[in-house]
Structure formats: C-alpha cells, structure tokens
C-alpha cells in the first residue's frame, strides 16, 4: 500500500490505521503544521487493507449509529464537581458509574510538559485530570490497543475523545464481541488546533514570564459559565511567576484567526446528530432562553444518547445528575457543529506562510 489517504482533508489523525496494523508498517509522524499523519514503511506493508478498513473518515458510514438520538439537559448535583468541570459535570458522573464497577477510563490529559495525550485512569484522582477541556489534538499513542487489552481482561472501559477519535476506536475494535463492555463518549467538537502552535505558545509564555510552566487551564470559570466566556479565560503560571494569570492569545488564534485547525476539520464527517459514540456531551448553550430554571453559572451540559448502551449508562448516573429530556431543535440551533464543519478562513495559507518565514512571535504579534 502506498498511502492510507490521498488528501490531508481525508485524515483526522486518529491513529486507528497505525494501531490496527499487525506488521508495524505504519508510524504517525507530524507534518509542517504539527499534525500527525500515518506514514507507511513499504518494506513491511503486505497490502492487507486493514488500515483503510479501520479508517473512520474514508469508511462508508463512518461507524456512526443509525438511530435517532435523544437529547437531555443535565447538571451534576455536586457544586464542587461543577466548579472543577468544563460545563455541567456529566463526564464525572458517567466515569464514576464505570469506576464503581472496577472499570477503566481513557481520556485526554497532560504530561509533565503539558503535551496533550490520551491516558488511562483507574481512580477518581487520575480521572479528575481529564475533566477540563484541552484545546489541542491529543496524541493517541497506543490507546486503542490498551483498551482492547483491558476489554480482554474483562474490564469495563469508558473512552472519551473527539468524534473522529471515537470513530477510530470503533474501526479498531471492529465487530468484536469485546465492544459489549466498551462505552464510548464523544464531544461536540469545534475543530482541532495544531499541537505545534500549542508548543510555540507555551514557549512564549515561559519566555515572557520566566521559568517553566507549572499550571495551565483552558475554559476556566473565573468569570462564570456562559457562551461569551467560553472563548477566553486561559489560565497559567510558571515556577518563577507562580501567581495564576490569564492570557487569551491562543484562543484568539483558534477562534478568531481560525488558521491553526487541522485540514480534515474543514470537511469533518462527524458534524451531524448521528455519532459513532454511545453518548455525546457538550455545553448546553442557550438553555437560559429555552428553560431559564436550568441555567447555572457553574455550568450546564447537553447529553445526546445515541445507542441502547448509552441509555443504560445514563440510567446509572441518575444518582449524580439532575436531567430532563429536551427537544433536539434547541441543540441544533445552538450547536453549529451538529450541522456543519468549521470552514477554513481565507487567510489560512497566509498564516502558515508567515509562520514559516517569520516565526511564531510574528504571527502572534499580529493579533495583539
């Protein structure tokens, strides 16, 4: 096989192709924008086709559920959980349901240098590190293979990630009966920023403030939970400047300039209500208009139930959540990524040309 994909818009970087390859013929390598793509070692490849069969982007149907989903508004009972969560604390509730059954959680976390990667959690303390949003594409490593190993041992597993990562896991597991113990939860995803630009941004913060980063937090609730506050409030501290400070330049690059997202995001196959997951979670934007009594400045979540397994898991969370079924039209109106991808800005090519010619300080300086 020459390549898994023909155009970069056809690769979401989920790594299913790499992990499903029994000949270790595929490596995930970063391109000039920092996004990971599969590269095939032709001396190892036997052209079995397992890589393309598992690909969630080119596979017909994209491993999505066909049933019409149900929509719920939800909020965790615990004020502390709400304070420590990005929105309404639903991830904590569903992961607690799995942990109570000696299950395992997989989600996005930071390593000691604040690289974003998927990790494995067996305790609430390990899981808590996965609660806050990370606006960077996570490195999947061998996560799918780890999940399969846990399932083979009889463990129940909850995987959380972007819609394409969820579909990649579906492609990796295939029709194996192991899937009966696997619960998949995806997010309503705006798009995925470049890991390279994230590394550059961290470097700027460390140069400006001195020392090494010791704390970062996307989507803080220092100004309360609301749509207006969701695109600001990035917090950080360094070992030489330990006071928590705010800086929104990465948000501006991501949401306003919009040039740092992965090419496949502009043609995302997962921007509809049919998902490759059992549950989908996100912020319940607009709930103050549709049902004001549900609004909470600490956060409110929407839960989309996509499968019978999703229904079963949600039932196990009732002890921790207040929830109510809502019309799907509310979320379709407020969540644009349930109906269309996030288009590339006209200046995307110019941004990357400027970055290559003049460096990161130049492109970030243009937004100040």
Express each pLDDT in 183-204 by its tens digit: 999 999 999 999 999 999 999 9
Rounded alpha-carbon distances, angstroms, from residue 244 to 110, 213, 233, 235, 297? 18, 11, 11, 6, 21
Residues ≥6 apart with Cβ < 8 Å to 188: 280, 281, 282, 302, 335, 337, 338
pLDDT on residue 223:
86
> What's the pLDDT tens digit per position in 129-183?
999 899 999 999 999 999 999 999 999 999 999 999 999 999 999 989 999 999 9
pTM: 0.95
Residue 365 reports pLDDT greater than 70: yes
pLDDT on residue 6:
85
Q: How far is CA 122 from the centre of its chain?
A: 20
Residue whose tokens read 């200046």? 347
Residue 59 reports pLDDT greater than 80: yes
Q: What percent of the chain has pLDDT over 90?
A: 89
The neighbour count for residue 366, using CB atoms within 10 Å, is: 11
* Helices and strands in the chain, H and E counts: 14, 13
Q: Where in the chain is the domain with CATH 3.30.70.20?
A: 8-54
Q: Which helix (H) or strand (E) holds 364?
A: helix 360-365
The neighbour count for residue 149, using CB atoms within 10 Å, is: 13
CA dihedral for 140, 145, 147, 150, sign (positive or negative)? negative
> What's the pLDDT tens digit per position in 330-352?
999 999 999 999 888 988 999 99
pLDDT on residue 231:
80
pLDDT on residue 368:
64
Strands 301-305 and 26-30: unpaired
Any idea of the CA torsion for 32, 35, 36, 37, to the nearest 10 degrees?
-70
DSSP state of 243: S
pLDDT on residue 140:
96
> What's the pLDDT tens digit per position in 210-269?
999 999 999 888 889 999 888 888 999 999 999 999 999 999 999 888 899 999 999 999
**Which option is the CATH number for 8-54: 3.30.70.20, 3.40.50.300, 2.70.210.12, 3.30.70.260?**
3.30.70.20
Cα-based angle 42, 14, 317 (whole degrees, multiple of 5): 150
Q: Provide the mean pLDDT of the chain.
A: 95
**For the purposes of burial, counting CB atoms within 10 Å of the CB of 286, is it exposed (0-12), middle (13-18) or buried (19 or more)?**
middle
The neighbour count for residue 157, using CB atoms within 10 Å, is: 24
Q: What percent of the chain has pLDDT over 70?
A: 99
Residue 366 reports pLDDT greater than 90: no
pLDDT on residue 228:
86
The answer to whether 234 and 247 have CB atoms below 8 angstroms apart is yes
């Amino acid at each position: 096989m020459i390549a898994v994909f023909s155009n970069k818009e056809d690769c979401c970087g989920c790594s299913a192709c790499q992990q499903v390859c029994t000949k270790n013929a595929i490596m995930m390598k970063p391109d000039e924008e920092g996004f990971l793509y599969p590269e095939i070692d032709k001396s190892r490849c036997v052209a079995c086709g397992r890589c393309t069969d598992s690909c969630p982007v080119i596979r017909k149907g994209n491993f999505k559920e066909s049933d019409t989903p149900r929509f719920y508004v939800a909020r965790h009972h615990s004020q502390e959980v709400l304070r420590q969560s990005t929105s309404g604390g639903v991830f904590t509730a569903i992961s607690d349901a799995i942990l109570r059954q000696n299950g395992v959680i997989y989600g996005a976390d930071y390593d000691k240098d604040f690289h974003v990667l998927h990790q494995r959690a067996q305790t609430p303390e390990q899981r808590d590190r996965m609660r806050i949003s990370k606006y960077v594409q996570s490195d999947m490593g061998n996560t799918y293979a780890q999940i399969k190993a846990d399932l083979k041992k009889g463990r129940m597993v909850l995987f959380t990630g972007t819609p394409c990562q969820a579909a990649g896991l579906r492609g990796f597991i295939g029709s194996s009966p192991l899937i009966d113990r696997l619960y998949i939860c995806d997010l309503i995803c705006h798009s995925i920023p470049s890991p390279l630009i994230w590394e550059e941004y961290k470097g700027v913060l460390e140069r400006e403030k001195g020392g090494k980063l010791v704390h970062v937090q996307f989507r803080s609730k220092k100004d309360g939970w609301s749509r207006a506050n969701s695109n600001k409030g990035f917090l950080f501290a360094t070992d030489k400047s330990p006071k928590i400070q705010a800086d929104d330049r990465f948000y501006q690059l991501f949401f306003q300039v919009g040039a740092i997202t992965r090419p496949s995001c502009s043609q995302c196959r997962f921007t509809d209500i049919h998902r490759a997951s059992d549950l989908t979670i996100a912020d319940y934007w607009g709930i103050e208009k549709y049902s004001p009594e549900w609004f909470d400045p600490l956060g409110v979540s929407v839960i989309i139930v996509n499968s019978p397994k999703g229904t079963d898991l949600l039932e196990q969370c009732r002890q921790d959540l207040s929830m109510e079924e809502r019309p799907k039209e509310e979320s379709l109106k407020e969540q644009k990524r349930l109906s269309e991808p996030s288009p590339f800005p006209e200046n995307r090519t110019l941004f990357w040309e400027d970055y290559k010619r003049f460096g990161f300080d130049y492109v970030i300086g243009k937004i100040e």
